[in-house]
Structure 1
Amino acid sequence: MMFLTNSTLGKVVRAQVRFKINAYMGALLSLIFVQLIGLLFSTNGSSTRGTSVNNIQIQVITISNDLVFVFVAIWALFVGNLITTRAYRYDDFSFVTTRLSSNLANILVLLMISIFAGVTTFLSNNVLRVYLSIFGSTEYTKSPGVFDEPFSSIGTMLVITLLILSLSSGGYLAGMLIQNSRLFLLVIPIIVLSILTTEIGQTLIQILFMNESTWLLIVNLIFMTIVFFGIAIAISNRLEVRA
């Protein structure tokens, strides 16, 4: 006896998300490796200041996890692009799927990975503190932690997570564009360089990212992420169907 079952969009997306999380475990392992590299470079300090008072030398070394975020940002772009490659797209044919369900599953996976990356990147600062307290040869003054300033810490963690998600969505959009036409391998770097070097591009960066309000920055990041994913979904409908 045979039974015919109808799968809803939600069920298909959940099945794909579970499959993709297991399939992309290598991406999470690479994230940890990248963060460790960032931590290794961060132990040397991001800036150094010195002064002398009555023949007493005072040197102040500022140590932060900024380099960890830089490495994770590059990782986020790479992972967002990697998901769009043909080999990963063909994995979706293991399911009865549509372009929409596939894209939704990819977005949810990138969201979960970005949350993990954002939280661990924020907490990597604590790893630096532990390292300095054990192996550091200089006096160390503890900066405010999560429990000292909980609301500020949560806001910072949210911003880092959204930055990583927006970068992964940018990588996802770039990957979809490249899969649609190899010409974008040349066009995308030109666009990025134009944004970084031209007055209009720098003004746009200031409007989106360099504002005093944390909540406005969060809104801008969410808006940019939605736009990137929306364009990527529209482009994906033009990709070839596997025979």
Structure 2
Amino acid sequence: MVVNMAVLGESTLVGVVILIAVVLAMAAAFMIYAMGNFNRSAALASLAQAEAFMTNVADDVEASMYVPGTVLVYALPTTGYGVFNLVSGFCTISINGTTYGSGAVVYGVPPRLVSYQGGFIDVIRGGGANGLPSSTNESTIVLNPAAPLISIVQFGYGQLNGVTYGTYIAMFPRLMAISSGSNTYIYIPMINVKPSSFRTGLNINVTNVYTMTLPTKSSFTISDSCGPFNNSYTIPGGGVVTLVFINMTVTFR
């Protein structure tokens, strides 16, 4: 039998080329998979970093928000996988028929990196009206003076001010109603956001704190809606209601 060495050589070469192509394709697929896992892990780490940063900021705000003129300045953490944004009108507050708006500080990552279902909720700082912690339920009106007034909640997939997030963390204020005999005190912290193209620092300025007294003959309702959370509380009549407004201006630098 005569073997055509030229044909055999060509067949071997073709086989080697095919094998190399398969190996390269598998290597490329593995690299893409590994890079995707790396980016997801890095994005999750950036969320944890943003959560810790916001928690520290919230602690500082609560400790100083009753002092007008206080200015808090922070360097924003550089994560590389998400973005900090300011959202106006995140909360809608109604006090005896008068409506107020309040903003939020948000950190989110794009859906291509991390995406949770739209109904996902993780309460990081806050909880129920009684001040007790809860991982899935958040009251925007608290009745316990020991409960935090600045909430931090992680949400799933959503869009805010035209920006789509796979998941995002929002820091926003909530109301507090405290009764003492026939007197009721309602604390109303509000965030006024000032847009900025900078993303290196966060400035929080306690603009002013003032009170307003409302003699009440009949009961009235207060409500606060922030994102998917919506709560209301009825103030009994026959007493004196003191509203404590806490205005804060927040911007990037």
**Which of 1 and 2 has higher RCO (CA within 8 Å, sep 6+)?**
1
Tell me if TM exceeds 0.5.
Answer: no
- Which one has the largest radius of gyration? 2
Q: Give the TM-score normalised by structure 2.
A: 0.27
- Return the structure number with greater helix share: 1
TM value normalised by structure 1 = 0.28
Point out the structure with the larger strand share: 2
